[in-house]
Structures are given as C-alpha cells and as structure tokens.
Structure 1
Amino acid sequence: MYFLGPLLEWLRDLSNGRILNFHLVELSIFSLDKTIIYMIALLVIQASYLIYKKRKQDNFTINWFRELVKFVFVTYMILLVHLTVLRYDWMWWQDSFNWHRSFDELNWVPLVDTIKLTKGSTFSYWYNFFGNILWFMPFGLVVPYIFRMKHAFFKTLFWGLMFSLSIETMQFYLETGVSHIDDVIFNGAGVILGYLMYDVLQIGHMYFKRRRNNNG
C-alpha cells in the first residue's frame, strides 16, 4: 500500500476482531489506496487538456461542475474495477489471463445462487443484492449527463451492461472473483434506477427553470 497503510492498521487495532466481515473494509481500503494513484494521474491529464484547450481557443470556457463530475465518474469506475477485479495487492505484471478456462465454470443460471443465500448468511445476501445494485446506480445517473444524451435510456443501459460484462469477464479470466449472471442482472437494475434518478432531476431542473423564467 502507498497511502492508506497506517489507516488500515489503525482500523485493525480498533476493530480487534469485533467487526464481522472486516475483509470488506480491508478490500475497500486496498482498492481506494490504488485508486488514489490513478486519481493523481487523471488530475494531471485533465488539467493539461483544459490548459491546452484554453490556449487554443480564446473563447473556451470551463464548466467546472461538469469537469468535477467527469473526474468523480472516472474515479468511481477505476475504484469499482479495483473492488471487483484487481483486488488487494494484485498487480498487472504479476498475473496473466487464463484463457484455458472452460465456460462450464461460469454461473449461467440466474437467481439460483442468490436465492440460496437467503438460507445462509443474511449479510451475504443483502450485500450481493443491494451492493450490486447500488454500485451501478451512479453509472445510470451520470453517463447521460456527461455525454449529453437525450432519451438515451437504452444506450445508457447497454453501456452499463457492457461495463458489468467486462468486469465479469476479467474476473473470470484473471480468476480474481466469481463471475455470475446475477451480478449482471443486479448491475443492470442499478443502471435503470440511476437513469430514473437522472430523469427525475432533469424534470425538476426544467420545472424550476420554467418557474424562474415566468417569475423573471
């Protein structure tokens, strides 16, 4: 770890074995630690691009809110890949894709394993169900805004499912997680909910804008 090692050690001492599923806390901190490196690189790239555009176009104006949303969204995607695929101390140069794996090892049948979780660990069930939905809600919420898409429900859902399938594929061939059709289904549900939130925000924005114009 590069940045958050002391924080992880402090949390380990603080928990002292009292926190169940502490491995999720460890995974989150490991993933965030590696994401920080990409955040720094992303800031440099984004700042360089804006400076270049400003010098090339005198009338170029920077929408700081939009740039912030872009930065947060890319950071979110990187963090999600680290949480689901490139876990803990995994490094690109330490492993390779295992192309020999058979598709028979994939979990193709939907919802069977999720239903089984209801008879076992309650935490595992809720984490698997709600976690996969919540993690993909930002995708459905932000993608239409960043790319300025209108009436783009199916486009947003398509790219959300492609991102989810990419994660499952990397998990499968890198053997860093369990690839399951349920994850794709719940991720897709998260994209849909996120897009509905985007629509609600758009309607609210248009409503207040119309009221402001009428009162103005």
Structure 2
Amino acid sequence: MSGDSWINARQCKIIVAVITVIYVLYMGNLLFFKGRTVGLSYQYNWIPFETIRPLLLEREKYITEAWIKNLFGNIVLFIPLGVCIPVLFRKCRSFLKLTVIVILIIFEVELTQLVTRVGTFDVDDIILNTLGAWIGYVGLRILVHVERLRQPSI
C-alpha cells in the first residue's frame, strides 16, 4: 500500500465527507445565522490588507478577544477546507487548483454576506481564510509524506 493510498480509501472518503457536511453546517450557521442580523446598509472592503494591517500593526487598539477572533479565527476556521477538498476531490490535490477552488468558495460566501447584508464583504477575509486552507493543505501533505516514509520499501 503506497503512502497516499489511505487518502483514496473508501472509508477515509466517507469519514471526511461526513466531517465536511458537519463543517459546512457549522460554518453556515456561524457565518449567516449565529448572532447575525440583517444590516441596513452594505458593508464592504475591497482594499487588500485594509483590516489586516491595523490588526497586526496596532494590536493595542483591540481587545484581545476581538483581535484573536478577527485575525486567527478567520485562519483557523478554514483549515478544514485545505484538508477536506483534496481528500474528497482528487482533481483538487494540487496547490494551485486548491487555491482557486478555495478562493471561489470564500468569494461566494463573502458575496452572499454582502448581498444578504448579513456580515460584511471583506477581501481580507478571503486572504485570511485562504491562508487557513493553505495551512490545512500543508498539514495534509506532511501527513501523506510521513505515511509514505513509514511504508516498507520492497
């Protein structure tokens, strides 16, 4: 059995598919329902690093909870995308294809938030969420590599 054959195993795909459904439901609730109300106006940021820059350079202006939620929450919550997508969709196992798919998914979420006025459209969220997916992808690739090294040579 090769080091990445487990990633193609039916049982693995079923487990990851179930986890993905739970993840999508959780994220849908978090992004569109939990504590969210429809705003009166559209709120958006199209300028890259406009909200990230102050979080990094003016840390003292933010309470710790808001700082962690806005910076790290946007990264950590999207780590599963970098794992689930390549496991479930073989064609999305390259870094470039994963990146394109993740950006499209996140852009769609942000656009939906803008149109429904639930949350805000923020290009910095796309950047941070994509970074989270990249972390998940790198973690998956490391896991596959380690598993490959553990396999006996014939």
Interval containing the TM-score (normalised by the shorter chain)? 0.7 to 0.9
Aligned to 2:44: 106
In the aligned structure 1, how far is the partner of 2:134 from the partner of 2:82?
6
In the aligned structure 1, how far is the partner of 2:24 from the partner of 2:134?
17
| Secondary structure of the corresponding residue to residue 109 of structure 1 | coil
In the aligned structure 2, how far is the partner of 1:78 from the partner of 1:152?
26
Structure 2: runs of 5 or more not aligned: 1-8
Supply the RMSD in Å over aligned alpha carbons: 2.5
Cα deviation for residue 72 of structure 1 reads: 0.8
Alignment CA distance shift 1:114-1:123 (3 Å) = farther
Aligned to 2:3: none
Per the normalisation by structure 2, the TM-score is 0.79
1:80 alignment partner, one of 27, 31, 35:
27
In the aligned structure 2, how far is the partner of 1:133 from the partner of 1:65?
25
CA contact (8 A) 1:85 1:170 kept: no
CA contact (8 A) 2:17 2:88 kept: yes
| Secondary structure of the corresponding residue to residue 169 of structure 1 | helix
Cα deviation for residue 197 of structure 1 reads: 0.7
Alignment of 1:34-73 (within 5 A): 63-73=10-20
In the aligned structure 2, how far is the partner of 1:115 from the partner of 1:150?
31
In the aligned structure 2, how far is the partner of 1:65 from the partner of 1:106?
39
Cα deviation for residue 80 of structure 1 reads: 0.8
Aligned to 1:199: 141
Per the normalisation by structure 1, the TM-score is 0.58
Higher CA-based Rg: 1
Structure 1: runs of 5 or more not aligned: 1-61
Aligned to 2:94: 152
Q: Which amino acid aligns with 1:189?
A: L
The alignment covers a number of residue pairs equal to 141
In the aligned structure 1, how far is the partner of 2:137 from the partner of 2:34?
28
In the aligned structure 2, how far is the partner of 1:121 from the partner of 1:82?
25
Matched, 1:115 2:53: yes
CA contact (8 A) 2:36 2:118 kept: no
In the aligned structure 1, how far is the partner of 2:119 from the partner of 2:48?
17
CA contact (8 A) 1:142 1:198 kept: no
| Secondary structure of the corresponding residue to residue 90 of structure 2 | coil
1:141 alignment partner, one of 83, 86, 98:
83
| Secondary structure of the corresponding residue to residue 112 of structure 1 | coil
Q: Which amino acid aligns with 1:158?
A: V
Identity %: 24
